[in-house]
């Protein structure tokens, strides 16, 4: 009975560990995932094979005039300013037996991780 419980626990651990990799990029012994900073990615994975600045993402910020809201009952939004966030892609070549991983950052935060084509040569995904 105890061996069965241990076997099921070990199997569950490996199943859950495998599904975790779908949401994270593994480099060496570490993982990075969406929401991590550029600094954490550099500490865990080292320098990327290459980087490129893609564009700036624009976001609008509004101000609500509370006085006019109270008087008319309607919310009036005034345009305040546009804020630009730099969008950057980092590429990690994980070698000929793996893929090239593309990490997309917006404003210094990891927003997306995807695989590109197959890698070539020696792996740059060893981590620290």
In this predicted model, what pLDDT tens digit does every residue of 38-73 receive, in sequence order? 999 999 999 999 999 987 766 665 555 555 555 556
pLDDT value at residue 34: 94
How far is Cα 44 from Cα 38, in angstroms, rounded to an integer? 10
Strands, DSSP E only, in 19-96?
Answer: 24-27, 30-33, 50-64, 77-93
Phi first, then psi, for residue 107 (nearest 5°) are 60, 35
How far is Cα 117 from Cα 127, in angstroms, rounded to an integer? 20
How far is Cα 55 from Cα 89, in angstroms, rounded to an integer? 10
Q: Tell which CATH architecture fits domain 2-56+85-118.
A: 2-Layer Sandwich (3.30)
Dihedral sign for Cα 34, 35, 36, 37, please: positive
pTM: 0.62
């Amino acid at each position: 009975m105890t061996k069965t419980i241990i076997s099921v626990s070990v199997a569950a651990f490996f199943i859950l560990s495998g599904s975790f990799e779908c949401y994270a990029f593994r480099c060496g012994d570490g993982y990075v995932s969406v929401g991590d900073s550029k600094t954490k990615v550099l500490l865990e994975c080292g320098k990327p094979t290459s980087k490129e600045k893609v564009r700036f993402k624009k976001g609008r910020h509004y101000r609500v005039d509370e006085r006019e809201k109270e008087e008319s009952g309607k919310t009036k939004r005034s345009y305040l300013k546009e804020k630009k966030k730099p969008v950057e892609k980092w590429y990690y070549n994980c070698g000929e037996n793996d893929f090239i991983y593309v990490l997309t950052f917006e404003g210094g935060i990891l927003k997306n991780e995807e695989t590109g084509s197959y890698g070539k040569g020696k792996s740059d995904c060893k981590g620290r």
